Amino acid sequence: MRADNKNVGATTAVPRRPALRSTQAGAASRWLLKKLYQGAGRPPARLSLWDGTEAGAAGRAALAHVRIHNLSTLLRLLSYPDLYFGEAYMSGELEVEGDLVALLEAVYRARAPFRGKGFRNRLADGGLTRRRRNTLEGSRSNIHHHYDLGNDFYQLWLDSEAMQYTCAYFPQADATLEAAQVAKLDHVCRKLQLQPGDTVVEAGCGWGGLARHMARHYGARVRAFNISREQLLFARERVRAEGLEDQVEYIEDDYRNVSGDCDVFVSVGMLEHVGTEHYPDMAEVIDRVLKPDGRGLIHSIGRNRAIGPMNAWIEKRIFPGAYPPSLREMMTIFEHRDLSVLDVENLRLHYASTLRHWLQRYERNADRVREMFDERFERAWRLYLCGSIAAFNTGQLQLFQVVFNRADCNVLPPTREQVYRAEGRG
Amino acid sequence: MRADNKNVGATTAVPRRPALRSTQAGAASRWLLKKLYQGAGRPPARLSLWDGTEAGAAGRAALAHVRIHNLSTLLRLLSYPDLYFGEAYMSGELEVEGDLVALLEAVYRARAPFRGKGFRNRLADGGLTRRRRNTLEGSRSNIHHHYDLGNDFYQLWLDSEAMQYTCAYFPQADATLEAAQVAKLDHVCRKLQLQPGDTVVEAGCGWGGLARHMARHYGARVRAFNISREQLLFARERVRAEGLEDQVEYIEDDYRNVSGDCDVFVSVGMLEHVGTEHYPDMAEVIDRVLKPDGRGLIHSIGRNRAIGPMNAWIEKRIFPGAYPPSLREMMTIFEHRDLSVLDVENLRLHYASTLRHWLQRYERNADRVREMFDERFERAWRLYLCGSIAAFNTGQLQLFQVVFNRADCNVLPPTREQVYRAEGRG
């Protein structure tokens, strides 16, 4: 086995025709396993089946060992890998020994030269796209699915400082998660040149950390919108405990219903849930509320290219209705209402670091997660965290922070030097 | 006259029906002048005709006084203001007393709420779009028209340090033009983390200042492409005088013919001449030459929105074939080849400052320009410089500097702090 394996290892460029084995069944599953391995782009991993059949890299060349426990899993993986890798990992029909992040990075890298998801994934994706619309009602259901899992659950692995469930900012690589999340809040406020007395509209406020930070440290008055009830419960409790009720109002409503006006419009980690068909709504909300001299910032996961729905398993199990836009797609928001984009920063490596911290805490609390939910859930969320690290590290996902204002507004400083001067002092 | 004028001043919201005058001709021209004033968005300016008829703001409310010398100019201005304002200014059939920049800013601002160029301009623009294609041959002719006007001419008003005919970077508002142009070169090099021994491809090198700067101050080896012969003559003379021939090669060829590979791809002020239909060519050139760990930067004039051809007069008289893309349109380049955009900086206010410096020097040398060309030319270039200042100040034009690399490349520092630390020290 071992000797034979070398021929289909990571460095072999030309597929070998499989030799016939003692039984037809064995030969068929071996052939299918090789097909699977080739389809994954020949990553440096070892694959094995329930009957001991193996393919892929051997020994130290293998970053991980993927065990597939039955034929139906193997067939499903061949038909729609993007969905069924996750499904099988979650159910335990597929197990991974070794470095899951490194394995996924290798698969993403191997697939990159083909510039897409592969034919089978694209074909199968077609069935997904119409399902989870972000209408007012649809958004409520989609957001409930993810964000209302219980604050106890998120507290197990998010930062204790501000409960930020978005990309942190690491001024130094070795910053703690807590420090990096606070640095992110300041990074956002500095880019916006937030001033005492500024009125802020925040679209999608999570557990409300940014709103409280803006109020406490910058003297701003914030109206923060969210449709996740669990998150709002937490946010309102915190704002009372911190005595900031006069400055911060948490409003349970959809971003499309935002009214009034503001000096600053900010949205961190909501655009992923808006959907490109609603970008004109987003633009109209901004145009409706932003004062002539107002500044805005949108922070969102994105991609290099618009290649259809996001990973099918993530969409099904983790983030229904989510869609990470390409920067071109994001730009349609600003173009729609003649807004000037002043600054775009891609923080994808910061998201990979953030996720590493989350994963560490998650692993420390895995027993607790199993108690709160079950083993399937616990495995699903590990895969989601690991897959996200791999995606940001290999450029499958990006994190775009976009600063904008109206076309004829020149209030922000002409250089970005002040953002970094302040960070150096901090 | 004066008393009557107040009624059509900048603060009057409802147009008044014109009173009949002694002659029908006088009434007609008065009516047309008011139409022109309304069409321009009622800017705070005074308009007057050859027969003494006036409209618009009076006294100190008027930033400028626009004199129209004959009926055919008035009719042309009404039919296609974007083109014929420039034509008439150039021929002297229209004259402006007072602050031309402020006048143009007021017109741009007044027009902004209509979110476009106005019906008549759009209709008339239709005839322009097919004319000046940027095929290999077309580009040569378009570039020759502008950049081969003679180095003596550009030396009258560009910086003496590096002859940069692109947006400078002002670390402080009161930097000299020379200092700001050198700061721009360093800003670009720092964003790219240019290292000794790096190989650079520069697409569209102007008079070659960036290439020489990269060689002298960063130890890079640069192949710089240009199709303007006049510029290349100057660049080659300078590189010999500075003893940098071993590091810098100036190549008379189109960007589409770039070959070989490089650590850095850079293009400052060329994309405006590429045309969106050739953006896939641009993407393919980058993809062909950029090494796996290569970094890239494109610096270009842009707009908030894709609203068709640029100003018709500029296209006809100054920049044939030019087109400033929206950021969305620019992004198609990177999306086409799965490149990751890491950083976008909008430097439009720096361009307004740069143009102010150019205009000052131009005015000091206006007599010399008239001697070299003629009065029409001298007026045309003044209008171009003033109009550009107004366009950048009011957000009609933007200046985008975009840093990118391949999807799976993580060589640039995760924060932009080093760019500013270096500038602080410099």
pLDDT at B144: 73
pLDDT at A424: 56
Closest in B170, B340, B394 to A398, CB measured: B340
Q: Which residue of A has its CA nearest to B353?
A: A414
Q: Which residues of chain B are within 8 Å of residue A396 when distances are taken between CB atoms?
A: 407
Beta strands in B357-397 (DSSP E): none
With a cut of 50, say whether residue A351 has pLDDT above it. Answer: yes
Yes or no: say if A340 and A334 are a contact pair by the CB < 8 Å rule. Answer: yes
SS3 call for A342: strand
The set of residues, in sequence order, having a beta carbon less than 8 Å from that of B14 and lying 6+ positions away, is none
Whether chain B has a CB inside 8 Å of the CB on A171: the answer is yes
Interface contact flag, A304 B340, Cβ < 8 Å? yes
C-alpha to C-alpha distance for A278 and A285, rounded to whole angstroms = 11
Q: Which residues 212-241 of A are in CB contact (within 8 Å) with B? A: none
pLDDT at A132: 63
pLDDT at B174: 97
C-alpha to C-alpha distance for A350 and A175, rounded to whole angstroms = 11
Query: For the residues A387-411, what does the mean pLDDT come to?
Result: 97
Domains of chain B: 2-125 (3.30.1050), 136-425 (3.40.50.150)
Yes or no: say if A348 and A400 are a contact pair by the CB < 8 Å rule. Answer: no
Q: Which residues of chain B are within 8 Å of residue A332 when distances are taken between CB atoms?
A: 328
DSSP 8-class letter at B326: B
pLDDT at B114: 56
Q: Which residues of chain B are within 8 Å of residue A170 when distances are taken between CB atoms?
A: 414-415
Amino acid at A77: L
Instruction: Return the residue in B327, B343, B356, B397 with the most chain A beta carbons within 10 A, the one to mutate for interface testing.
Output: B327
With a cut of 60, say whether residue A175 has pLDDT above it. Answer: yes
Three-class SS string for B93-120? CEEEEECHHHHHHHHHHHHHHHCCCCHH
Query: Residue B17: pLDDT band by 50, 70, 90 thresholds?
Result: very low
Q: Which residues 339-358 of B are in CB contact (within 8 Å) with A? A: 339-350
Closest in A170, A349, A406 to B410, CB measured: A349
Q: Which residues of chain B are within 8 Å of residue A345 when distances are taken between CB atoms?
A: 342-343, 416
pLDDT at A344: 98
Instruction: Return the residue in A279, A284, A287, A304 with the most chain B beta carbons within 10 A, the one to mutate for interface testing.
Output: A304
With a cut of 60, say whether residue A312 has pLDDT above it. Answer: yes
Nearest to B275 by CA among B309, B305, B236, B298: B309
Interface contact flag, A327 B334, Cβ < 8 Å? yes
Query: For the residues B360-386, what does the mean pLDDT come to?
Result: 97
Query: For the residues A169-179, what does the mean pLDDT come to?
Result: 97
Instruction: Return the residue in A169, A286, A334, A335 with the most chain B beta carbons within 10 A, the one to mutate for interface testing.
Output: A335
pLDDT at A110: 85
Yes or no: say if A118 and A92 are a contact pair by the CB < 8 Å rule. Answer: no
Q: What would the pLDDT profile of A14-31 be if each residue is shown by its tens digit?
A: 444 444 444 666 888 999
Yes or no: say if A39 and A117 are a contact pair by the CB < 8 Å rule. Answer: no
Q: What would the pLDDT profile of B315-350 be if each residue is shown by its tens digit?
A: 888 888 889 999 999 999 999 999 999 999 999 999
Helices B375-393 + B348-364 axis angle, to 10:
160
Query: For the residues B370-384, what does the mean pLDDT come to?
Result: 96
Q: Which residue of B has its CA nearest to A115?
A: B338
Interface contact flag, A350 B393, Cβ < 8 Å? no
Interface contact flag, B304 A339, Cβ < 8 Å? yes
Q: Which residues of chain A are within 8 Å of residue B171 when distances are taken between CB atoms?
A: 415, 417
pLDDT at B9: 32
The string over B195-220, giving b where at least 16 C-beta atoms fall within 10 Å of a residue's C-beta and e elsewhere, is eeebbbbbbbbbbbbbbbbbbeebeb
Q: What would the pLDDT profile of B127-141 be if each residue is shown by its tens digit?
A: 554 456 778 887 777
Query: For the residues A43-58, what does the mean pLDDT come to?
Result: 94
Our CA-based measurement puts residue A116 at a distance from the nearest CA of chain B, in whole angstroms, of: 9
With a cut of 50, say whether residue B19 has pLDDT above it. Answer: no
Q: Which residues 245-304 of A are in CB contact (within 8 Å) with B? A: 304
SS3 call for B371: helix
Interface contact flag, B340 A423, Cβ < 8 Å? no
Give me the percent of chain B exceeding a pLDDT of 90. 76
C-alpha to C-alpha distance for B234 and B339, rounded to whole angstroms = 34
With a cut of 80, say whether residue A144 has pLDDT above it. Answer: no
pLDDT at B283: 98
DSSP A288-304: HHEEEEEEEEEEEEEBS
Instruction: Return the residue in A420, A421, A423, A425 with the most chain B beta carbons within 10 A, the one to mutate for interface testing.
Output: A420
Our CA-based measurement puts residue B344 at a distance from the nearest CA of chain A, in whole angstroms, of: 5
Q: What would the pLDDT profile of B266-302 be if each residue is shown by its tens digit?
A: 999 999 999 999 999 999 999 999 999 999 999 999 9
The set of residues, in sequence order, having a beta carbon less than 8 Å from that of A176 and lying 6+ positions away, is none
Give me the percent of chain A exceeding a pLDDT of 90. 75
Query: Residue B16: pLDDT band by 50, 70, 90 thresholds?
Result: very low
Our CA-based measurement puts residue A199 at a distance from the nearest CA of chain B, in whole angstroms, of: 24
pLDDT at B162: 85
What mean pLDDT is reported for chain B?
Answer: 89
Amino acid at A208: G
pLDDT at B4: 37
pLDDT at B7: 34
Interface contact flag, A335 B347, Cβ < 8 Å? no
Q: What would the pLDDT profile of A64-120 be if each residue is shown by its tens digit?
A: 999 999 999 999 999 999 999 999 999 999 999 999 999 999 999 987 765 556 666
C-alpha to C-alpha distance for A253 and B299, rounded to whole angstroms = 41
Q: Which two tokens stand for residue A194?
A: 């937030």
Q: What angle do CA B132, B136, B142 make, to 5 degrees?
A: 40
With a cut of 60, say whether residue A194 has pLDDT above it. Answer: yes
Our CA-based measurement puts residue A270 at a distance from the nearest CA of chain B, in whole angstroms, of: 21
Query: For the residues A396-412, what does the mean pLDDT come to?
Result: 97
C-alpha to C-alpha distance for A221 and A226, rounded to whole angstroms = 17
Phi, psi of A26 (to 5 degrees): -60, -45
Q: Which residues of chain A are within 8 Å of residue B424 when distances are taken between CB atoms?
A: 417, 421
Q: Which two tokens stand for residue B115?
A: 């979110």
Q: What would the pLDDT profile of B42-78 be if each residue is shown by its tens digit?
A: 999 999 999 999 999 988 889 999 999 999 999 999 9
Q: Which residues 119-158 of B are in CB contact (within 8 Å) with A? A: none
Q: What would the pLDDT profile of A285-294 be if each residue is shown by its tens digit?
A: 999 999 999 9
DSSP B276-319: GGGHHHHHHHHHHHEEEEEEEEEEEEEBSS--SSS-HHIIIII-
The set of residues, in sequence order, having a beta carbon less than 8 Å from that of B61 and lying 6+ positions away, is B9, B10, B44
With a cut of 90, say whether residue A393 has pLDDT above it. Answer: yes
Lowest mean pLDDT among A214-228, B120-134, B378-392: B120-134
Q: Which two tokens stand for residue A389?
A: 């690290």
Q: Which residue of B has its CA nearest to A303?
A: B340
pLDDT at A400: 98
The set of residues, in sequence order, having a beta carbon less than 8 Å from that of A253 and lying 6+ positions away, is A225, A227
**ipTM, 2 decimals?**
0.91
Q: What would the pLDDT profile of A235-256 be if each residue is shown by its tens digit?
A: 999 999 999 999 999 999 999 9
